[in-house]
Amino acid sequence: MSQGFNDDARYRLLGVLAFNSLQPQVVPALHPVGFTKTKIPKKIYARILTARKKMKKEFEVESCDLGMQNCARILYSNISQECHMVSAENYWYADLGKQTKSSVFEELRPLAEKWINNKIELLGTSVYGIRKYTRGAWLMSHLDHLKTHVVSAILNIAQDVKEEWPLQIFDHSGKMHEILLAPGDMVWYESAKLIHGRVKKLNGKYFENMFVHYMPRSLNWYDSDLGLGTEPKSVISLEDLEKSERDFRETRQNMITEMETNQKQQEEMYGQLSLEEKLSKLGNSDQPGVFAEKL
């Protein structure tokens, strides 16, 4: 009880364990292994550090996901003879500002697509500021949102620890790995398919991460998360996504070709007109800018 594990936390934990068993079965693998450790691009990392230095607000205690995190404690009051839930103050958050987050978000997206060998196009869904974990923090092994957190990245921004704080993650074959991140490191991972967490308590002052998440751009993707006791209408395979991607690209290219053809035909037609005829057409046109270029 002193660690905050009340009935709500136990129910949350059971739900997490259930999803860990069910969700990987309906998410197609996009990468041969499922994760890769690499370096944060230098310009992006520098921009994040600059924004962190200029933050207008200090870190604030983050909302508690009880059962997933050890973010609360239950204390007994001898005076009131009651138990009270209080924050363990292990999880903090600081916003980096919309401009910084958006630029990081957009610049990492093509790298995320390259990481999955450009199998499908990705759509950005969420980018967090800096989450700071403090001494004693841990994170239950879990999966991220099925709908929106499919290809993700963890960027380590700063840390002050006495010993390494590993990320535990299972690859597609079921083998567990421990990934060690230093400031300036990042890891790409399939967060809706691969179970991951930090089950060892943080031994140090703080550990700061930034998170970005992407989902398939295709309309042929799940429109909601799984619920306990529910199943998706159909299981979406990689082949389904790739076919949808091919269809989309073909449709898009056909539209571009049609627009270019129409534009060329207009240019050829108006190029043969006299100045007076062009001015007459310009006066009757709903798109004067197209014709004005030829005058």
Coil, strand or helix: which one is 189?
Answer: strand
Q: Is the confidence at residue 6, as pLDDT, over 70?
A: yes
Q: Is the confidence at residue 57, as pLDDT, over 50?
A: yes
54: DSSP letter: T
Lowest mean per-residue pLDDT among 90-104, 167-181, 251-265 = 251-265
Buried b (16+ CB within 10 A) or exposed e, 142-168: bbbbbbbbbbbbbbbbebeeeeebebb
Work out the percent of the chain whose per-residue pLDDT is above 90: 59
Q: Where are the domains of the chain?
A: 7-235, 247-292
Taking residues 188-204, report their average pLDDT.
97
Cβ within 8 Å of residue 204, ≥6 positions away? 135, 159, 160, 161, 162, 163, 165
pLDDT tens digits, 25-40: 999 999 999 999 999 9
Which pLDDT does position 75 carry in this prediction? 66
Summary mean pLDDT of the chain:
87
3: DSSP letter: T
Which pLDDT does position 155 carry in this prediction? 98
pLDDT tens digits, 158-194: 999 999 999 999 999 999 999 999 999 999 999 999 9
Evaluate whether 116 touches 36 at the Cβ level (below 8 Å): no
Sheet architecture: strand order including 196-198? 139-142, 196-198, 167-170, 176-179
Burial zone of 100 (CB within 10 Å; 0-12 exposed, 13-18 middle, 19+ buried)? buried
Coil, strand or helix: which one is 103?
Answer: helix
Give the CATH H-level superfamily of domain 7-235: q2cbj1_9rhob like domain (2.60.120.620)
